[in-house]
Structure 1
Amino acid sequence: MAWRYPMRTIYLAATAACALSLAACASDMQSASSASAMGSPASAAAAAAAPTTATAFIAEAARSDMYEIQSSQLAQSKGSSQAVKDFAAQMIRDHTNSTQIVMAAAQQAGMNPPPPPLDARRAGMIRQLQGASGAAFDRMYLQQQLMAHQEALALHSGYAQNGDTPQLKAAAAQIAPIVQQHLTHVQGMQPS
């Protein structure tokens, strides 16, 4: 009987260590998404932690594109600069196309998942944009675009490298360079 207490203590300590590890991974993912994308250790960690299952990749790619389209539709109506409106038009066009690429690849792989709803974090970002106007809107939109494209690049690069479905890996590999172009473009638009 004397051994039960130490085993329980060990079990609780191991459980706590696992919880802390998961929290650290989540923190690393947030750091990775806010770090500069290509070549940074944080982006490599984010790419390594990207979903590797087809269903998780499809859902996250759909949410990412949905956010891009909705936020960019707002930017076309609320943006104060023509550069922001032009960038938003390109985002709507390119992210509508990337959704079509992923869904076509999913169908080729025998999958037909329904589009997931926008997640709470991205819905909150949309609400923030809805409450902004003028130059403040432009700054917020561009900052969100920077973060969103860092995340999207990690998602597509990571799945292209480590995904479990060849058709979707090829789609992710096709989309990643386009997302990199968007990221480079939005980095150049950031206020100094």
Structure 2
Amino acid sequence: MFAAAAAMAAAAPLMAQTTDATTYVANAGASDMYERQSSQLVLQSTRDPKVRDFATMMVRDHAKSTADVKRAAMQARVRAPAPKLEPMQARMIADLRRATGPARDRLYVQQQQTAHQQALALHSGYAQQGSAAPLKTVAAATAPVVQHHIEMLQAM
């Protein structure tokens, strides 16, 4: 379970170098999908108000970032496949499904820390070096939101 999170963290530097618009849209979509699915899953069982509030915010914020990226992709005339979880993200969801009670909450927070580091690398990298202006604008606007999520996680 922790190996999946560690492997995902190791992928973060690679994501930071994404300059291709189609790849960025696909990776952002997968990231948002993972964030929403994992948060919806933990909302089914958590009794921790901090975890519940954070997960609720993740569902809302990542739905917004998905819509923003889709809109920018249309403006940039970028066609990307429908978002789907990366194999590592699917394994992390499976690990979360197997965990129960407070252990699920702890695993969720750990996974969120890893996923948000990866998302920050993705959005910051594309904002700096991306190939499509509308997507660069969205990436630049999304990065501070992701950074705020990281700060919230560190305080949990």
**TM-score strictly above 0.5:** yes
In 1, the alpha carbon distance for the partners of 2:14 and 2:125 equals 4
TM score, norm. by length of structure 1: 0.74
Q: How many Å apart are 1:31 and its aligned residue?
A: 4.1
3-state DSSP class of the match of 1:98?
helix
In the alignment, is the contact (CA less than 8 A) between 1:160 and 1:170 conserved in 2? yes
3-state DSSP class of the match of 2:84?
coil
3-state DSSP class of the match of 1:99?
helix
Q: Which has the higher contact order (CA 8 A, sep 6+)?
A: 2
Confirm whether residue 124 of structure 1 aligns to residue 91 of structure 2.
yes
Other-structure match for 2:147: 180
Specify which of 57, 65, 68 is matched with residue 98 of structure 1. Answer: 65
3-state DSSP class of the match of 1:78?
coil
Confirm whether residue 113 of structure 1 aligns to residue 107 of structure 2.
no
Larger Rg: 1
3-state DSSP class of the match of 2:28?
helix
In 1, the alpha carbon distance for the partners of 2:14 and 2:111 equals 19
TM score, norm. by length of structure 2: 0.90
Gaps of 5+ in 2: 1-5
Aligned residues: 151
In the alignment, is the contact (CA less than 8 A) between 2:124 and 2:143 conserved in 1? yes
Other-structure match for 1:66: 33
In 2, the alpha carbon distance for the partners of 1:106 and 1:126 equals 27
Gaps of 5+ in 1: 1-26, 34-45
- Runs (4 or more) in structure 1 with deviation over 2 Å come to 27-33, 46-50, 111-114
RMSD (CA atoms)? 2.0
Q: How many Å apart are 1:117 and its aligned residue?
A: 1.8
In 2, the alpha carbon distance for the partners of 1:146 and 1:48 equals 16
**Percent of aligned positions that are identical:** 49
Gap change, CA 1:181 and 1:30, over 3 Å in 2: closer
